[in-house]
């Protein structure tokens, strides 16, 4: 009997020691990186005080002050040629989640089947959980997926604000141009985001967090303190409205608070922060006076168009191995976020062939130099169906824009013509035909609609 007891004790001791060693090994093993994506709404490429292109003084606001975003740009790398997947919010949000252009999933002829197919796609939360089951994922703020209205939990998120829209944060029909305690819900969304980060840090869990702000989408709400401060700023030539500057300041305060929380918890060395807008800035703001230049100058037009003002957005990445205060001229897109996270998180499965983005890891770890490997050599932007049909394709240094209603093609050399003022289509017919053939071939392959079919 004594021998049996001794044997039991020995076996128990072996298992106990093995358990402790395994726990220690697990604790000492490198933790998967954390990811934070900050998505602002309708924020222009020139909607911050950060020079997005340091050699061009026009590439920032001449009025708004955004020290939080400036600080993030100093922590990491800004991309002078950052693009949203679409010039409108809903298609960008759906595209960012799965790394696919809206031409594949929202602007299609087959409006009955694509919603259920969309819900089956590999999303950022699903991909990260496959890379490491320990990941906890959250979405706070504006969701606004429309059509079939999938909720964040339907697409793989653990924690969220549920299905939210413009109206949740004070949309255009909610009045505006007045001070409130929690403008555009910036401060309550930020608090939930900070609480989530602190909880995961305490639990020692890797996390993915997307903070989708309602600002600076209309209507205009702001804090009185921000308005008082901005009223002392000297108005610029393209930005002049104190109330909009105040709303921008409140948004920036929220971003600064989020950075503070990451730093205070000692997470900076294992956390990547991505910052971008869902589309370019609005071309006009109600109530703006004494404007001498277009709001998105030097870019052409704005939200809703395929010109640079509609799709070029502020874009910053900070994190481990990213050179501080670096600038990259490599064209990047919100479609690149999923494959980049997959690369950084060690996702070891093949990514979907339908992916339109590519990993930015080699660029952010190489001081902003290099190229992004995507399944296609070009970047494509497209809408139709519920919108006036228009497509843009970028294959450096050229950009082709097609307006389908009048079958109009425009060719620009973005390396020399950031404002898209000089149409080269007649001077370079062969290049125009080549790009147009590639454009139409791709749209045909993904069965994208090229006409307005619904009202």
Give the pLDDT confidence of 247-290 residue by residue, as tens digits.
999 999 999 999 999 999 999 999 999 999 999 999 999 888 88
Share of the chain above pLDDT 70, in %: 93
Task: Name the band, by pLDDT with cuts 50, 70 and 90, for residue 72.
Answer: very high
Parse the chain into domains and list their residue ranges: 31-364, 379-445
Three-state helix/strand/coil letters over the chain: CHHHHHHHHHHHHHHHHHHHHHHHHHHHCCCCCEEEEEEECCCCCCCCCCCCCCCCCCCCCCCCCCHHHHHHHHHCEEECCEECCCCCHHHHHHHHHHCCCHHHHCCECCCCCHHHHHHCCCCHHHHHHHHCCCCEEEEEECCCCCCCCCCHHHHCCCEECCCCCHHHHCCHHHCCCEECCCHHHHHHHHHHHHHHHHHHHHHCCCEEEEEECCCCCCCCEECHHHHHHHCCCCCCCCCCCHHHHHHHHHHHHHHHHHHHHHHHCCCHHHEEEEEEECCCCCCCCCCCCCCCCCCCCCCCCCCCCCCHHHHECCEEEECCCCCCCEEECCCEEHHHHHHHHHHHHCCCCCCCCCCCCCCCHHHHCCCCCCCCCCCCCCEEEEECECCCCEEEEEECCEEEEEEHHHCEEEEEECCCCCCCCCCCCCCCHHHHHHHHHHHHHHHHHCCECCCECCC
Share of the chain above pLDDT 90, in %: 85
Task: Name the band, by pLDDT with cuts 50, 70 and 90, for residue 3.
Answer: very low
125 and 208 Cβ atoms separated by less than 8 Å = yes
Tokens 């606001």, located at residue: 61
Cα–Cα distance for residue pair 57/298, rounded to 1 Å = 10
pLDDT of residue 111: 66
Q: Which residues contact 365 (CB under 8 A, 6 or more apart)?
A: 321, 322
Within this chain, domains 31-364 and 379-445 share the same CATH topology: no
pLDDT of residue 147: 84
pLDDT of residue 268: 97
**Does position 106 have pLDDT exceeding 90, yes or no?**
no
* The listed CATH number (2.30.42.10, 1.10.530.10, 3.30.1120.10, 3.90.550.10) that belongs to domain 379-445: 3.30.1120.10
**Does position 4 have pLDDT exceeding 60, yes or no?**
no
Give the pLDDT confidence of 133-166 residue by residue, as tens digits.
999 999 999 999 998 899 999 999 999 999 999 9
**Does position 411 have pLDDT exceeding 80, yes or no?**
yes
Q: Which residues contact 49 (CB under 8 A, 6 or more apart)?
A: 60, 61, 64, 65, 66, 67, 69, 70
pLDDT of residue 21: 37
Angle between helices 124-131 and 337-345 (to 10 degrees): 10
Identify which has the larger pLDDT, 25 or 36: 36
CATH class of 31-364: alpha beta
**How far is CA 397 from each of CA 50, 78, 87, 415, rounded to the nearest angstrom?**
24, 20, 20, 6
Task: Tell me which residue of 295, 157, 165 sits closest to 238, measured CA to CA.
Answer: 295
Give the pLDDT confidence of 384-407 residue by residue, as tens digits.
988 999 999 999 999 999 999 999
pLDDT of residue 29: 59
pLDDT of residue 248: 98
Task: Name the band, by pLDDT with cuts 50, 70 and 90, for residue 173.
Answer: confident
Task: Name the band, by pLDDT with cuts 50, 70 and 90, for residue 114.
Answer: confident
What is the average pLDDT across 125-129?
98
- Which range, of 144-153, 171-180, 181-190, averages the lowest pLDDT? 171-180
């Amino acid at each position: 009997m004594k021998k049996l007891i001794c044997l039991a004790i020995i076996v128990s001791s072996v298992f106990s020691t093995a358990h402790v060693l395994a726990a220690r090994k697990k604790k000492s093993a490198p933790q998967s990186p954390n990811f934070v994506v900050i998505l602002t709404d309708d924020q222009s490429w020139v909607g911050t005080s950060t020079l997005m292109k340091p050699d061009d003084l026009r590439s920032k606001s001449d009025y708004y002050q955004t020290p939080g975003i400036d600080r993030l740009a100093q922590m990491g790398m800004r991309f002078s040629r950052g693009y949203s997947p679409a010039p409108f919010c809903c298609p960008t949000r759906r595209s960012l989640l799965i790394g696919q252009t809206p031409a594949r999933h929202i602007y299609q002829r087959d409006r009955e089947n694509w919603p259920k197919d969309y819900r089956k796609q590999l999303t950022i939360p699903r991909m990260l959980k496959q890379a490491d089951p320990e990941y906890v994922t959250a979405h706070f703020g504006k969701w606004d997926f429309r059509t079939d209205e999938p909720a964040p939990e339907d697409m793989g998120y653990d924690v969220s604000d549920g299905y939210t829209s413009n109206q949740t944060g004070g949309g255009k029909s909610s009045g505006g141009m007045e001070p409130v305690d929690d403008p555009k819900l910036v401060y309550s969304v930020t608090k939930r985001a900070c609480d989530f980060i602190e909880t995961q840090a305490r639990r020692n869990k890797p996390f993915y967090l997307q903070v989708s702000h309602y600002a600076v989408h209309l209507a205009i709400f702001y804090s009185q303190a921000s308005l008082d401060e901005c009223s002392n700023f000297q108005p610029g030539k393209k930005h002049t409205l104190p109330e909009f500057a105040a709303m921008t300041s409140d948004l920036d305060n929220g971003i600064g608070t989020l950075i503070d929380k990451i730093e205070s918890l000692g997470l900076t060395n294992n956390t990547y922060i991505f910052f971008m807008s869902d589309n370019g800035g609005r071309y006009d703001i109600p109530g703006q006076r004494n404007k001498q230049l277009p709001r998105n100058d030097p870019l052409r037009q704005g939200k809703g168009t395929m010109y640079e003002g509609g799709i070029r957005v502020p874009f910053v990445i900070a994190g481990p191995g990213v050179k501080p205060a670096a600038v990259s001229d490599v064209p990047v897109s919100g479609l690149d976020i999923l494959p980049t996270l997959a690369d950084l998180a060690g996702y070891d499965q093949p990514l979907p062939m339908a992916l339109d983005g590519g990993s930015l890891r080699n660029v952010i770890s190489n001081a902003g130099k290099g190229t992004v490997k995507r399944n296609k050599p070009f970047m494509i932007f497209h809408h139709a169906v519920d919108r006036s049909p228009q497509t843009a394709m970028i294959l450096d240094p050229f950009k082709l824009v097609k307006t389908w209603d009048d079958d109009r093609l425009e060719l620009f050399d973005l390396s020399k013509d950031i404002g898209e003022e000089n149409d080269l289509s007649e001077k370079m017919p062969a290049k125009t035909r080549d790009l147009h053939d590639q454009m139409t071939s791709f749209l045909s392959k993904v069965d994208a609609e090229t006409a307005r079919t619904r009202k």
